[in-house]
């Protein structure tokens, strides 16, 4: 028999995950702030809820993939949130990129309300989500994680367990996003050094990506950075700035400087000031070209 599950938040990532959950045979309820995103999923068999609370089943499972910390908190623990309806035995799997402090707050809130909570943020661009090939890092109580596993298995190629502290998975996610954003800057400066000496950015990029730097993240980002074309956004630059804010905020709470993260933030702010908020966040790399007088 099919298990009931709800997913809230149907952006590009959430929609792709919803489709995979349907394909995996879950009886799926979906909810989204705007209704456009729900249509194709309804056509594919999903029930459409009118409110977050209506989406949740007492004792059921709710997956969230919402816009940011504030929306997630309101949707979960707000007056009309799903959290109160979820009730004892219910499970919340939070897959957004959020501040560790927000995750801590939600974990505490759920515990007080008798709910289970698993933090399970994901790595992968929308195309990867569609293919069900995300990487998930998860943390939370053992029983909660066990219950979450079949759900996660439907959307990812691998899920890594980072222990029982629900905050840990969120920290790993921020570390990863910091590392990805950093690589954009690394390629930006590196390829521009080559270009300023008369070499082809593409030739240099192609060499490195097939040798020392032959990793998914390089293969995925390098061609865009070599071409310095950033107008087709897989991940909006303004969301990248939000993530850097989370990263630097987490570092500040933990009392540590991250000079490279500060540099990335400065790149993003300059791009925002120049009206590039809706570009792909690989436009971070454009800063190095621009500073070199090439753009």
Q: Closest Cα partner for 247 from 259, 236, 237?
A: 259
The secondary structure of residue 226, as a DSSP letter, is H
196 catalytically annotated:
no
Q: Closest Cα partner for 49 from 12, 13, 18?
A: 18
Q: Which residues are paired to 8 by β-bridges? A: 31, 64
Q: Copy the structure tokens of residue 223.
A: 């061609």
Number of H helices and number of E strands within the chain?
Answer: 14, 9
**Closest approach of Cβ 33 to a copy of itself, in Å?**
24
Where would I find the H helices in 124-200?
A: 126-130, 142-155, 166-196
Q: How far does Cα 290 stand from its chain's mean position?
A: 28
230 touches 283 (CB < 8 A): yes
Q: Copy the structure tokens of residue 56.
A: 């949740």
- Which H or E run contains 122? strand 122-123
Which CB atom, from 205 or from 233, has the smaller least distance to a copy of itself? 205
145, 173, 196, 242: the active-site residue: 173
Q: How far does Cα 279 stand from its chain's mean position?
A: 17
Q: How far does Cα 136 stand from its chain's mean position?
A: 10
**Closest approach of Cβ 165 to a copy of itself, in Å?**
7
Which CB atom, from 7 or from 137, has the smaller least distance to a copy of itself? 137
**Closest approach of Cβ 287 to a copy of itself, in Å?**
9
Which CB atom, from 58 or from 216, has the smaller least distance to a copy of itself? 216
**Closest approach of Cβ 73 to a copy of itself, in Å?**
18
Which CB atom, from 37 or from 96, has the smaller least distance to a copy of itself? 96
Which CB atom, from 91 or from 194, has the smaller least distance to a copy of itself? 194
Q: Which residues are paired to 119 by β-bridges? A: 94, 139
Q: How far apart are CA 48 and CA 11, in angstroms?
A: 15
**Closest approach of Cβ 258 to a copy of itself, in Å?**
5
Which CB atom, from 82 or from 235, has the smaller least distance to a copy of itself? 235
Q: Which residues are paired to 94 by β-bridges? A: 64, 119
Q: How far apart are CA 38 and CA 82, in angstroms?
A: 18
What is the C-alpha radius of gyration for the chain, rounded to an integer number of angstroms? 20
**Closest approach of Cβ 82 to a copy of itself, in Å?**
28
Q: How far apart are CA 259 and CA 116, in angstroms?
A: 37
**Residues that are catalytic:** 173
């Amino acid at each position: 028999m099919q298990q009931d599950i709800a997913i809230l938040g149907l952006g590009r990532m959430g929609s792709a995950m919803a489709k995979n959950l349907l394909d995996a045979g879950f009886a799926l309820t979906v909810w989204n702030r705007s209704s456009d995103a729900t249509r194709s999923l309804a056509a594919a068999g999903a029930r459409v809820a009118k409110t977050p609370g209506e989406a949740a089943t007492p004792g059921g499972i709710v997956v969230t993939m919402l816009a940011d910390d504030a929306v997630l908190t309101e949707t979960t623990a707000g007056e009309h949130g799903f959290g109160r309806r979820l009730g004892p035995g219910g499970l919340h799997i939070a897959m957004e990129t959020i501040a560790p402090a927000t995750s801590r707050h939600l974990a505490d809130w759920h515990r007080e309300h008798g709910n289970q909570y698993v933090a399970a943020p994901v790595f992968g661009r929308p195309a990867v989500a569609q293919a069900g090939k995300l990487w998930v890092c998860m943390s939370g109580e053992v029983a909660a994680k066990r219950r979450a596993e079949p759900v996660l298995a439907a959307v990812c190629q691998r899920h890594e367990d980072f222990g029982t502290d629900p905050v840990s998975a969120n920290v790993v996610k921020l570390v990863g996003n910091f590392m990805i954003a950093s690589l954009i800057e690394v390629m930006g400066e590196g390829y521009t050094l080559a270009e300023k000496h008369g070499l082809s950015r593409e030739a240099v990029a192609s060499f490195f990506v097939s040798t020392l730097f032959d990793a998914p993240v390089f293969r995925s980002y390098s061609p865009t950075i070599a071409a310095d074309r950033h107008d087709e956004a897989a991940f909006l630059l303004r969301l990248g700035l939000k993530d850097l804010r989370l990263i630097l905020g987490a570092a500040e709470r933990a009392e540590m400087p991250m000079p490279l993260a500060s540099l990335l933030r400065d790149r993003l702010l300059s791009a925002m000031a120049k009206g590039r908020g809706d570009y792909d966040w690989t436009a971070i790399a454009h800063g190095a070209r621009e500073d070199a007088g090439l753009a």
